[in-house]
Amino acid sequence: MNLPELAQHFEKLFGSRPRVYRAPGRVNLIGEHTDYNDGFVMPAAVAFSTYVAIAARPDRKLVIHSEEFPGNFEFDLDNLPQRRSGTWCDYVLGVATVLRQRGHKLAGANLLVHGEVPIGAGLSSSAAIEVASALALLSLTGTQLPLPDIAKLCREAENTFVGARVGIMDQFVSCMGKAGHAFLLDCRSLEFKFVPIPPGISLVVCNTMVKHDVATSAYNTRRAECEEGVRLFAQWDSSVHALRDVSVDLLEQHSRDLPPTIWKRCSHVVRENQRTQDAARALSSGDLKHLGELMRDSHHSLRDLYEVSCRELDVMVEAAEGLPGFCGGRMTGGGFGGCTVNLVREGSATDFAAQISERYQQSTGIIPHVYICSAEDGAQALGQPS
Ligand code: GLA
Protein backbone atom coordinates (compact mmCIF):
# COMPACT_ATOMS: atom_id res chain seq x y z
CA MET A 1 0.00 0.00 0.00
CA ASN A 2 1.50 3.35 -1.00
CA LEU A 3 0.84 6.64 0.80
CA PRO A 4 -2.06 7.89 -1.35
CA GLU A 5 -3.69 4.45 -1.03
CA LEU A 6 -3.27 4.54 2.73
CA ALA A 7 -4.85 7.99 2.86
CA GLN A 8 -7.73 6.90 0.60
CA HIS A 9 -8.33 3.85 2.72
CA PHE A 10 -8.38 6.03 5.82
CA GLU A 11 -10.85 8.42 4.20
CA LYS A 12 -13.13 5.54 3.27
CA LEU A 13 -13.04 4.19 6.83
CA PHE A 14 -13.28 7.42 8.79
CA GLY A 15 -14.48 10.10 6.36
CA SER A 16 -11.58 12.53 6.86
CA ARG A 17 -8.09 13.07 5.49
CA PRO A 18 -5.23 11.89 7.70
CA ARG A 19 -1.69 12.97 8.41
CA VAL A 20 0.80 10.15 8.17
CA TYR A 21 3.81 9.30 10.35
CA ARG A 22 6.45 6.72 9.55
CA ALA A 23 8.90 4.83 11.76
CA PRO A 24 11.34 2.18 10.51
CA GLY A 25 12.49 -1.20 11.78
CA ARG A 26 16.18 -1.80 12.37
CA VAL A 27 19.01 -4.19 11.95
CA ASN A 28 21.78 -4.36 14.53
CA LEU A 29 25.27 -4.71 13.06
CA ILE A 30 26.90 -5.54 16.38
CA GLY A 31 26.41 -5.01 20.13
CA GLU A 32 23.85 -7.66 21.04
CA HIS A 33 22.31 -7.96 24.50
CA THR A 34 24.42 -5.03 25.60
CA ASP A 35 21.77 -2.28 25.63
CA TYR A 36 20.15 -3.34 28.93
CA ASN A 37 23.64 -3.63 30.41
CA ASP A 38 24.27 0.11 29.83
CA GLY A 39 26.63 -0.85 27.01
CA PHE A 40 27.19 -0.09 23.31
CA VAL A 41 25.20 -1.05 20.21
CA MET A 42 25.67 -0.29 16.52
CA PRO A 43 22.35 -0.58 14.67
CA ALA A 44 20.98 1.02 11.50
CA ALA A 45 17.39 1.79 10.52
CA VAL A 46 16.19 -0.12 7.44
CA ALA A 47 13.58 0.59 4.80
CA PHE A 48 10.79 -1.54 6.29
CA SER A 49 8.49 0.86 8.08
CA THR A 50 5.25 1.14 9.97
CA TYR A 51 2.93 3.96 8.92
CA VAL A 52 0.33 5.47 11.21
CA ALA A 53 -2.37 7.62 9.60
CA ILE A 54 -4.24 9.80 12.06
CA ALA A 55 -6.99 12.44 12.20
CA ALA A 56 -8.77 14.04 15.15
CA ARG A 57 -12.31 13.07 16.14
CA PRO A 58 -14.71 15.33 17.99
CA ASP A 59 -15.19 12.97 20.97
CA ARG A 60 -12.76 11.39 23.46
CA LYS A 61 -12.38 8.08 21.68
CA LEU A 62 -9.29 6.40 20.32
CA VAL A 63 -10.30 4.19 17.39
CA ILE A 64 -7.55 1.96 15.98
CA HIS A 65 -7.71 -0.09 12.77
CA SER A 66 -5.23 -1.94 10.63
CA GLU A 67 -5.45 -3.81 7.35
CA GLU A 68 -2.76 -6.35 8.13
CA PHE A 69 -3.38 -6.99 11.81
CA PRO A 70 -6.67 -8.46 13.02
CA GLY A 71 -9.24 -6.65 15.16
CA ASN A 72 -10.63 -3.13 15.32
CA PHE A 73 -10.23 -1.38 18.65
CA GLU A 74 -12.04 1.44 20.38
CA PHE A 75 -11.06 3.01 23.71
CA ASP A 76 -12.20 5.84 25.92
CA LEU A 77 -9.24 8.21 26.27
CA ASP A 78 -10.21 9.14 29.80
CA ASN A 79 -10.48 5.56 30.86
CA LEU A 80 -7.69 3.74 29.06
CA PRO A 81 -7.14 0.09 30.06
CA GLN A 82 -4.35 -0.31 32.58
CA ARG A 83 -3.47 -3.79 31.39
CA ARG A 84 -2.35 -5.21 28.09
CA SER A 85 -4.78 -7.22 26.02
CA GLY A 86 -2.14 -9.39 24.34
CA THR A 87 -2.87 -8.02 20.84
CA TRP A 88 -0.85 -5.78 18.49
CA CYS A 89 -2.92 -2.86 19.67
CA ASP A 90 -1.03 -2.91 22.99
CA TYR A 91 1.87 -1.10 21.32
CA VAL A 92 -0.34 1.87 20.41
CA LEU A 93 -2.25 1.79 23.66
CA GLY A 94 0.91 1.45 25.74
CA VAL A 95 2.26 4.62 24.15
CA ALA A 96 -1.04 6.47 24.73
CA THR A 97 -1.04 5.34 28.36
CA VAL A 98 2.55 6.41 29.01
CA LEU A 99 1.91 9.78 27.33
CA ARG A 100 -1.06 10.30 29.67
CA GLN A 101 0.97 9.25 32.70
CA ARG A 102 3.62 11.78 31.77
CA GLY A 103 1.01 14.53 31.73
CA HIS A 104 0.71 14.96 27.95
CA LYS A 105 -2.72 15.89 26.65
CA LEU A 106 -4.27 13.51 24.14
CA ALA A 107 -7.08 14.28 21.70
CA GLY A 108 -9.73 11.87 20.42
CA ALA A 109 -8.44 10.27 17.22
CA ASN A 110 -8.92 7.72 14.46
CA LEU A 111 -5.80 5.75 13.59
CA LEU A 112 -5.00 3.42 10.73
CA VAL A 113 -1.83 1.38 11.20
CA HIS A 114 -0.03 -0.05 8.19
CA GLY A 115 2.97 -2.23 9.07
CA GLU A 116 5.57 -3.39 6.58
CA VAL A 117 8.21 -4.57 9.06
CA PRO A 118 8.15 -8.40 9.06
CA ILE A 119 6.61 -9.51 12.37
CA GLY A 120 8.59 -11.77 14.71
CA ALA A 121 11.69 -11.53 12.54
CA GLY A 122 13.70 -9.56 15.09
CA LEU A 123 13.62 -6.39 12.97
CA SER A 124 11.79 -4.33 15.61
CA SER A 125 8.28 -4.23 14.26
CA SER A 126 7.09 -3.33 17.78
CA ALA A 127 9.40 -0.32 18.14
CA ALA A 128 8.25 0.89 14.70
CA ILE A 129 4.57 0.81 15.72
CA GLU A 130 5.33 2.51 19.04
CA VAL A 131 7.38 5.33 17.57
CA ALA A 132 5.01 6.05 14.65
CA SER A 133 2.05 6.01 17.09
CA ALA A 134 3.78 8.37 19.50
CA LEU A 135 4.52 10.90 16.73
CA ALA A 136 0.95 10.60 15.45
CA LEU A 137 -0.74 10.97 18.86
CA LEU A 138 1.45 13.91 19.87
CA SER A 139 0.82 15.72 16.59
CA LEU A 140 -2.87 16.20 17.35
CA THR A 141 -2.14 18.41 20.32
CA GLY A 142 0.79 20.12 18.60
CA THR A 143 3.23 18.69 21.17
CA GLN A 144 6.80 18.45 19.95
CA LEU A 145 9.19 16.29 21.91
CA PRO A 146 12.84 15.64 21.06
CA LEU A 147 13.17 12.27 19.30
CA PRO A 148 15.38 10.75 22.04
CA ASP A 149 12.58 11.50 24.54
CA ILE A 150 10.10 9.79 22.24
CA ALA A 151 12.40 6.76 22.12
CA LYS A 152 12.54 6.68 25.92
CA LEU A 153 8.81 6.87 26.40
CA CYS A 154 8.19 4.18 23.76
CA ARG A 155 10.62 1.91 25.55
CA GLU A 156 8.80 2.63 28.79
CA ALA A 157 5.52 1.67 27.10
CA GLU A 158 7.02 -1.64 26.05
CA ASN A 159 8.50 -2.27 29.52
CA THR A 160 5.55 -1.26 31.65
CA PHE A 161 2.47 -1.79 29.48
CA VAL A 162 3.38 -4.50 26.97
CA GLY A 163 5.49 -6.22 29.62
CA ALA A 164 8.67 -6.87 27.58
CA ARG A 165 11.80 -5.83 29.50
CA VAL A 166 13.63 -4.62 26.36
CA GLY A 167 16.52 -2.15 26.27
CA ILE A 168 16.53 1.22 24.45
CA MET A 169 18.21 0.17 21.19
CA ASP A 170 15.20 -0.50 18.95
CA GLN A 171 13.17 2.58 19.81
CA PHE A 172 16.26 4.79 19.66
CA VAL A 173 17.37 3.71 16.20
CA SER A 174 13.80 3.87 14.89
CA CYS A 175 13.76 7.52 15.97
CA MET A 176 17.30 8.57 15.13
CA GLY A 177 18.44 6.47 12.13
CA LYS A 178 20.25 8.22 9.28
CA ALA A 179 20.38 7.10 5.64
CA GLY A 180 23.72 5.55 4.70
CA HIS A 181 24.85 5.30 8.32
CA ALA A 182 24.93 2.94 11.25
CA PHE A 183 25.33 4.55 14.62
CA LEU A 184 27.29 3.77 17.71
CA LEU A 185 25.02 4.35 20.70
CA ASP A 186 26.13 4.51 24.29
CA CYS A 187 23.05 3.08 26.00
CA ARG A 188 24.00 4.67 29.33
CA SER A 189 24.43 8.30 28.31
CA LEU A 190 22.46 8.00 25.05
CA GLU A 191 25.30 9.82 23.29
CA PHE A 192 25.75 8.55 19.77
CA LYS A 193 27.95 8.90 16.74
CA PHE A 194 26.91 8.23 13.15
CA VAL A 195 29.23 5.84 11.36
CA PRO A 196 29.02 5.93 7.57
CA ILE A 197 28.56 2.60 5.84
CA PRO A 198 31.14 2.55 3.03
CA PRO A 199 29.65 3.13 -0.43
CA GLY A 200 29.03 -0.06 -2.36
CA ILE A 201 28.11 -2.13 0.72
CA SER A 202 24.62 -3.61 1.08
CA LEU A 203 23.05 -4.89 4.26
CA VAL A 204 21.63 -8.27 3.34
CA VAL A 205 19.16 -9.45 5.95
CA CYS A 206 18.33 -13.17 5.90
CA ASN A 207 15.18 -14.26 7.66
CA THR A 208 15.38 -17.85 8.97
CA MET A 209 11.55 -17.82 9.13
CA VAL A 210 11.64 -19.39 12.58
CA LYS A 211 10.97 -17.88 15.97
CA HIS A 212 11.32 -20.30 18.85
CA ASP A 213 8.87 -20.06 21.74
CA VAL A 214 11.58 -19.67 24.36
CA ALA A 215 12.56 -16.25 22.99
CA THR A 216 10.70 -14.12 25.55
CA SER A 217 11.36 -16.21 28.63
CA ALA A 218 15.02 -16.69 27.69
CA TYR A 219 15.39 -12.92 27.20
CA ASN A 220 14.15 -12.32 30.72
CA THR A 221 16.36 -15.08 32.13
CA ARG A 222 19.42 -13.55 30.45
CA ARG A 223 18.57 -10.19 31.98
CA ALA A 224 18.28 -11.74 35.42
CA GLU A 225 21.63 -13.54 34.94
CA CYS A 226 23.28 -10.24 34.02
CA GLU A 227 21.79 -8.62 37.13
CA GLU A 228 23.22 -11.46 39.21
CA GLY A 229 26.61 -10.83 37.56
CA VAL A 230 26.39 -7.13 38.51
CA ARG A 231 25.52 -8.05 42.10
CA LEU A 232 28.59 -10.28 42.36
CA PHE A 233 31.02 -7.90 40.64
CA ALA A 234 29.80 -5.01 42.79
CA GLN A 235 30.97 -6.97 45.86
CA TRP A 236 34.49 -6.99 44.48
CA ASP A 237 34.46 -3.51 42.96
CA SER A 238 31.99 -0.94 44.24
CA SER A 239 32.24 1.13 41.02
CA VAL A 240 30.31 -1.59 39.14
CA HIS A 241 26.67 -0.53 38.63
CA ALA A 242 26.08 -2.41 35.37
CA LEU A 243 28.08 -4.92 33.30
CA ARG A 244 29.22 -1.90 31.29
CA ASP A 245 31.48 -1.07 34.25
CA VAL A 246 33.25 -4.44 34.25
CA SER A 247 36.59 -4.33 32.45
CA VAL A 248 38.11 -7.34 30.70
CA ASP A 249 40.74 -7.40 33.48
CA LEU A 250 38.15 -7.52 36.26
CA LEU A 251 36.28 -10.22 34.36
CA GLU A 252 39.42 -12.33 34.07
CA GLN A 253 40.38 -11.83 37.71
CA HIS A 254 37.09 -13.38 38.80
CA SER A 255 36.70 -16.04 36.15
CA ARG A 256 36.77 -18.77 38.82
CA ASP A 257 34.66 -16.93 41.39
CA LEU A 258 31.46 -16.73 39.36
CA PRO A 259 29.01 -19.58 38.78
CA PRO A 260 29.84 -20.91 35.28
CA THR A 261 26.61 -19.74 33.61
CA ILE A 262 26.87 -16.24 35.08
CA TRP A 263 30.50 -16.09 34.00
CA LYS A 264 29.56 -17.01 30.42
CA ARG A 265 26.85 -14.33 30.23
CA CYS A 266 29.11 -11.65 31.71
CA SER A 267 31.97 -12.67 29.49
CA HIS A 268 29.81 -12.18 26.40
CA VAL A 269 28.56 -8.74 27.46
CA VAL A 270 31.95 -7.37 28.56
CA ARG A 271 33.71 -8.46 25.37
CA GLU A 272 30.78 -7.55 23.11
CA ASN A 273 31.00 -3.98 24.40
CA GLN A 274 34.65 -3.91 23.41
CA ARG A 275 33.92 -5.50 20.02
CA THR A 276 31.21 -2.96 19.30
CA GLN A 277 33.50 0.00 19.88
CA ASP A 278 36.21 -1.69 17.81
CA ALA A 279 33.65 -2.39 15.08
CA ALA A 280 32.66 1.30 14.91
CA ARG A 281 36.32 2.18 14.34
CA ALA A 282 36.72 -0.56 11.74
CA LEU A 283 33.58 0.54 9.87
CA SER A 284 34.53 4.21 9.85
CA SER A 285 38.00 3.47 8.56
CA GLY A 286 36.60 1.07 5.94
CA ASP A 287 38.42 -1.92 7.45
CA LEU A 288 35.76 -4.44 6.47
CA LYS A 289 38.06 -7.38 7.05
CA HIS A 290 38.41 -6.55 10.73
CA LEU A 291 34.72 -5.72 10.98
CA GLY A 292 33.92 -9.14 9.52
CA GLU A 293 36.12 -10.83 12.15
CA LEU A 294 34.39 -8.93 14.94
CA MET A 295 30.96 -9.89 13.60
CA ARG A 296 31.99 -13.53 13.45
CA ASP A 297 33.33 -13.39 17.04
CA SER A 298 30.10 -11.76 18.14
CA HIS A 299 28.06 -14.57 16.63
CA HIS A 300 30.20 -17.25 18.24
CA SER A 301 29.92 -15.52 21.58
CA LEU A 302 26.12 -15.27 21.27
CA ARG A 303 26.04 -18.94 20.32
CA ASP A 304 28.45 -20.35 22.92
CA LEU A 305 28.46 -17.91 25.85
CA TYR A 306 25.18 -16.06 25.78
CA GLU A 307 23.42 -19.10 24.25
CA VAL A 308 20.74 -17.20 22.34
CA SER A 309 21.40 -18.57 18.86
CA CYS A 310 19.67 -21.63 17.40
CA ARG A 311 20.42 -24.16 14.67
CA GLU A 312 18.70 -22.14 11.93
CA LEU A 313 20.66 -18.97 12.75
CA ASP A 314 23.93 -20.91 12.87
CA VAL A 315 23.17 -22.55 9.52
CA MET A 316 22.38 -19.15 7.99
CA VAL A 317 25.60 -17.61 9.35
CA GLU A 318 27.70 -20.53 8.10
CA ALA A 319 25.95 -20.47 4.72
CA ALA A 320 27.32 -16.98 4.09
CA GLU A 321 30.96 -18.00 4.52
CA GLY A 322 32.91 -18.03 1.29
CA LEU A 323 30.18 -16.52 -0.89
CA PRO A 324 31.47 -13.86 -3.32
CA GLY A 325 31.20 -10.31 -1.94
CA PHE A 326 30.59 -11.42 1.67
CA CYS A 327 32.39 -9.20 4.22
CA GLY A 328 30.86 -10.28 7.53
CA GLY A 329 27.69 -11.55 9.16
CA ARG A 330 26.02 -12.65 12.37
CA MET A 331 22.66 -13.17 14.01
CA THR A 332 20.91 -9.89 14.75
CA GLY A 333 18.37 -8.99 17.46
CA GLY A 334 17.33 -10.97 20.51
CA GLY A 335 17.96 -14.44 19.00
CA PHE A 336 16.23 -17.86 19.00
CA GLY A 337 15.29 -17.30 15.37
CA GLY A 338 14.71 -14.19 13.33
CA CYS A 339 17.40 -12.85 11.03
CA THR A 340 21.08 -12.68 10.28
CA VAL A 341 22.69 -9.49 8.99
CA ASN A 342 25.40 -9.62 6.33
CA LEU A 343 27.61 -6.93 4.83
CA VAL A 344 27.90 -7.75 1.15
CA ARG A 345 29.47 -5.90 -1.78
CA GLU A 346 26.63 -4.32 -3.75
CA GLY A 347 27.51 -5.94 -7.07
CA SER A 348 27.34 -9.40 -5.48
CA ALA A 349 24.23 -8.87 -3.34
CA THR A 350 21.70 -10.46 -5.70
CA ASP A 351 23.83 -13.57 -6.27
CA PHE A 352 24.60 -13.73 -2.56
CA ALA A 353 20.86 -13.68 -1.80
CA ALA A 354 20.17 -16.50 -4.25
CA GLN A 355 23.04 -18.67 -3.06
CA ILE A 356 22.48 -18.26 0.65
CA SER A 357 18.78 -19.08 0.16
CA GLU A 358 19.69 -22.26 -1.65
CA ARG A 359 22.26 -23.33 0.94
CA TYR A 360 19.88 -22.60 3.82
CA GLN A 361 17.02 -24.43 2.19
CA GLN A 362 19.19 -27.45 1.51
CA SER A 363 20.21 -27.71 5.17
CA THR A 364 16.91 -26.89 6.85
CA GLY A 365 14.16 -27.52 4.28
CA ILE A 366 12.89 -23.98 5.00
CA ILE A 367 12.62 -21.32 2.29
CA PRO A 368 14.11 -18.15 3.80
CA HIS A 369 13.25 -14.55 2.96
CA VAL A 370 16.24 -12.46 2.00
CA TYR A 371 16.07 -8.65 1.93
CA ILE A 372 18.74 -6.51 0.28
CA CYS A 373 18.66 -3.35 2.39
CA SER A 374 20.46 -0.10 2.99
CA ALA A 375 20.53 2.12 6.06
CA GLU A 376 17.63 4.57 6.01
CA ASP A 377 16.40 7.64 7.88
CA GLY A 378 14.60 7.31 11.19
CA ALA A 379 11.04 8.34 12.03
CA GLN A 380 9.43 11.27 10.26
CA ALA A 381 6.18 13.13 9.59
CA LEU A 382 5.02 12.54 6.02
CA GLY A 383 2.31 15.21 6.01
CA GLN A 384 -1.10 14.90 4.45
CA PRO A 385 -0.91 12.77 1.28
CA SER A 386 -3.23 13.94 -1.51
C1 GLA B 1 15.71 -7.10 21.42
C2 GLA B 1 15.46 -5.92 22.36
C3 GLA B 1 16.64 -4.95 22.38
C4 GLA B 1 17.97 -5.68 22.59
C5 GLA B 1 18.07 -6.89 21.65
C6 GLA B 1 19.29 -7.72 21.93
O7 GLA B 1 15.73 -6.63 20.10
O8 GLA B 1 14.30 -5.21 21.96
O9 GLA B 1 16.43 -3.96 23.37
O10 GLA B 1 18.11 -6.06 23.92
O11 GLA B 1 16.93 -7.73 21.74
O12 GLA B 1 20.44 -7.01 21.63
CA of 109 to the centre of ligand 1 (A): 31
Please give the number of the atom of ligand 1 that sits closest to the Cα of 334.
Answer: 11
Residue 128 near residue 376 (C-beta atoms within 8 A):
no
Atom of ligand 1 nearest to the CA of 31: 12
Instruction: Kindly give the distance from the C-alpha atom of residue 288 to the centroid of ligand 1, in angstroms, as a whole number.
Output: 24
The single-letter DSSP state of residue 60 is S
Residue 19, classed as helix, strand or coil, is strand
Q: Answer positive or negative: Cα dihedral of 297, 302, 303, 305.
A: positive
Question: What is the number of other CB atoms lying within 10 angstroms of the CB of residue 315?
Answer: 18
For the chain, the farthest-separated pair of C-alpha atoms sits apart, in whole angstroms, at 67
Q: From the CB of 38, is ligand 1 less than 6 Å away?
A: no
Give the range among 209-213, 314-318, 332-336 with minimum mean pLDDT: 209-213
pLDDT at 315 exceeding the cut of 90? yes
Chain centroid offset of residue 211 CA: 15
Please say whether the beta carbons of 123 and 28 come within 8 A.
no
Q: In 91-130, which positions are buried (b, 16+ CB within 10 angstroms) versus exposed (e)?
A: bbbbbbbbbeeeebebbbbbbbbbbbbbeebbbbbbbbbb
- Percent pLDDT > 90 in the chain is 95
Q: Which tens digit of pLDDT belongs to each residue from 139-189?
A: 999 999 999 999 999 999 999 999 999 999 999 999 999 999 999 999 999
pTM confidence score: 0.96
Ligand 1 binding pocket includes 334 (Cβ within 6 Å): yes
Ligand 1 atom closest to the CA of 35, numbered from 1? 10
Dist. CA 337 → ligand 1 center (Å): 13
Measured from the Cα of 167, ligand 1's closest atom is 9
How many angstroms is it from 336 CA to the middle of ligand 1?
A: 12
* 106 band by pLDDT with thresholds 50, 70 and 90: very high
Considering the candidates 35, 38, 170, 245, report the single residue annotated as catalytic: 170
Q: How far apart are CA 95 and CA 103, in angstroms?
A: 13
Active site residue 170: yes
Atom number, ligand 1, closest to the C-alpha of residue 127:
8
170 lines ligand 1 (CB under 6 A): yes
Ligand 1 contact via 35 beta carbon (within 6 Å): yes
* Tens digit of each residue's pLDDT (9 = 90 or more) over 120-134: 889 999 999 999 999
| CA 51 to ligand 1 centroid distance, Å | 22
In this predicted model, what pLDDT tens digit does every residue of 263-282 receive, in sequence order? 999 999 999 999 999 999 99
Distance CA(139)–CA(365), nearest Å, equals 47
Q: What distance, in Å, lies between the first and last C-alpha atoms of the chain?
A: 14
* DSSP conformational letter for 34: -
**Residue 72 alpha carbon to ligand 1 centre in Å:** 29
Residue nearest (by alpha carbon) to ligand 1 atom 9: 167
Chain centroid, CA 208 distance in Å: 17
HEC secondary structure over 155-221: HHHHHHHHCCCCCCHHHHHHHHCCCCEEEEEECCCCCEEEEECCCCEEEEEEEEEEECCCHHHHHHH
- When pLDDT is averaged across residues 39-52 and rounded to a whole number, the result is 97
Q: C-alpha 385: how far from its chain's center?
A: 28
Give the residue ranges of DSSP H helices in 60-140. 89-101, 125-139
- 3-class state of residue 355 by DSSP: helix
Which of the listed residues 34, 35, 226 should we mutate to test ligand 1's pocket, taking the one with most ligand atoms within 8 A of CB? 35
181-191 pLDDT per residue, tens: 999 999 999 99
Element of type H or E holding 14:
helix 3-14
Top mutation candidate among 32, 41, 170 for ligand 1, by most atoms within 8 Å of CB: 170
> How many C-beta atoms lie closer than 10 Å to residue 140's C-beta?
17
